[in-house]
Amino acid sequence: MDDRDFLLRELHRFVKENGRNPGYNDLRNYNGYPSNSAYTRTFGSVRKGLITAGLLREDGESEEFLLSEIERFKEENKRLPTHVEMCTKKGYPTHHAYERVFGSWKNALIAGGYVLEHDNTEEYLIRVLRKYNEENGRYPMQRDMTIYNGYPSIHCFLETFGSWSNALKAADMDRMDQDFFKPENMNLRKWYIIGYIIADGWVNKNYIRISTVEKDKDNLYAMNDYIEKENNMIPRKKYVFEKRNLYFKDKVYKAQPVYQIQFHNKYWIKDLMLYGIVENKTHISYIPLDYLKTPEEEAAIMRGIFDGDGSISVDVNHWIDGKTTTHHPIFKLTGSKKLCEDYAFLLEKNCGVKPNILPERSVFQIRTSGIPNCTKIFNFLYGHENFFIQRKKERLVKLLNGVYTPEGDNY
């Protein structure tokens, strides 16, 4: 026979050493305590042994007590518990106690008024999704729908709608607007993004990728924030890749990190094809002239292309009276032959500027220079509010206003 007094003393020792009541699995010989089977033989169960030792209330499975323990957890943790958090190791009744008394953990929460009994009806679940969107400024994710966040569990949505995607559709809350880049939904900001992707983006059948260097990351993130906001997306990961330095003739050319954003949407990728944005587009890219309806739309896509693959160089070979050096801007843009021809066509159409198109290694380049021509181009490209790369605009403004100095150049 097991010694009752010894077993009870061991329970008190466990509490003293661990600051809590023991659970069934805590009572093992190899842990230095009597086994749980000893308590079962002597008292009928570990729980009855704890009651006998005065360590557990005899009414520990009354509805009132169990609900009070949920409320205690809520007050201590500022949220509702999950069923696995209700355990003797943490000083609470086990979830098995709630299942014995209430039939299930969910029924216990319903009895306590924490969850509505009708929380698996379509009407109610749709209201929950829309309320979450209003309170948090974004669409909910599966991980947001938990009882301890104060919402029905994700299982309620899956049982009712069949899938999380169907639940969002029922609430008119599809995660990403599938028609975001369709021609009829385009605006000036989207045309800028299209231009930037034409120049410096990368697309395959799975995703859209846009990259830039560190000094232009603010513009990249502005585009990313706009796309996320328009599609009620949660902030996503932004990638930074470190490149290896280039060593040539005892010189080290330090590589800049590359900043990158990505989007996965097959509908967007399909619509981008309408604008000539496909895999391996370097030598076949063009401006989708047929889709541009206004001069502002033409300016927006041209600004995006310029920010992606254009530059402002400084011509210092101008002399006044053979003494004073002046700085003149040179507007350049690199791309496929067709892209350069389309860009030149729009410059002549909207600015009256006819640039040169010259071969540049394996591609082509547009070039035009001088303050008069570049002023016309600047006024056209920057005549509306949109995204822009700060350093390119600043250099051009300084050159056009005659205040450019190499020392103050942040290009």
Distance CA(114)–CA(68), nearest Å, equals 12
- Please tell me the predicted confidence (pLDDT) of residue 271: 96
Q: What is the pTM of this model?
A: 0.63
158 or 354, higher pLDDT: 354
| Residues 373 and 382: beta-carbon distance below 8 Å | no
Q: Does pLDDT of 195 surpass 90?
A: yes
On the question of pLDDT at 314 being above 90, the answer is no
pLDDT at 347 over 80: yes
Q: Is the pLDDT of residue 196 over 90?
A: yes
Is the Cβ–Cβ distance between 203 and 272 less than 8 Å?
yes
pLDDT in tens, 381-406: 999 999 999 999 999 999 999 888 87
Determine the Cα–Cα distance for residues 169 and 122; give it in Å rounded to an integer.
12
What is the biggest distance separating any 2 CA atoms in the chain, rounded to whole angstroms? Answer: 117
Cα separation, 102 vs 107, whole angstroms = 6
Question: Does residue 117 surpass a pLDDT of 70?
Answer: no
Whole-angstrom distance, CA of residue 351 vs CA of residue 373: 8
Model pLDDT, residue 116: 59
Angstrom distance (rounded) from CA 201 to CA 220: 11
Q: Is the dihedral of CA 177, 183, 187, 192 positive or negative?
A: positive
What are the residue boundaries of the structural domains of the chain, listed by start? 4-52, 63-111, 122-170, 183-408
Are the beta carbons of 219 and 390 closer than 8 angstroms?
Answer: yes
- With beta carbons less than 8 A apart as the criterion, state whether 404 and 374 touch: no
Contact 219, 212 (CB under 8 A): yes
Q: What angle do CA 234, 188, 259 make, to 5 degrees?
A: 50
Q: Which of 45, 91, 97, 46 is nearest to 67 (CA)?
A: 97
Q: For residue range 15-44, what is the model confidence (pLDDT) as tens digits?
A: 888 777 776 677 776 678 888 888 888 888
CA distances from 118 to 113, 123, 156, 160, 177 (A): 12, 10, 10, 12, 31
Residue 137 Ramachandran class (φ > 0 left, ψ -120 to 50 alpha, else beta):
left
- Domain 183-408 top-level CATH class: alpha beta
Q: Are residues 327 and 315 in contact, defined by beta-carbon separation less than 8 angstroms?
A: yes
Asked if residue 341 has pLDDT above 90, the reply is yes
**Measured between alpha carbons, how far is 9 from 124 in angstroms, rounded to an integer?**
52
* Distance (Å, whole) CA 263 – CA 282: 20
Pairwise CA distance, residues 105 & 102, whole Å: 7
pLDDT single digits (tens) 145-184: 876 667 788 888 888 888 888 888 888 776 678 899 999 9
Percent of the chain topping pLDDT 90: 38
Give the closest residue to 168 by CA, choosing from 145, 149, 186: 145
Instruction: Categorize the per-residue pLDDT at 245 as very low, low, confident or very high, splitting at 50, 70 and 90.
Output: low
Most confident of 63-72, 253-262, 305-314: 305-314
Mean pLDDT of all residues belonging to the chain: 85
- Side-chain-side CA neighbours of residue 176 (13 Å): 14
For 135-176, the DSSP string reads HHSS---GGG--GGGTS--HHHHHHHHSSHHHHHHHTT--SS
- Between 147 and 114, the more confident residue is 114
**Does pLDDT of 332 surpass 90?**
yes
Least confident of 216-225, 239-248, 276-285, 393-402: 239-248
pLDDT value at residue 238: 73
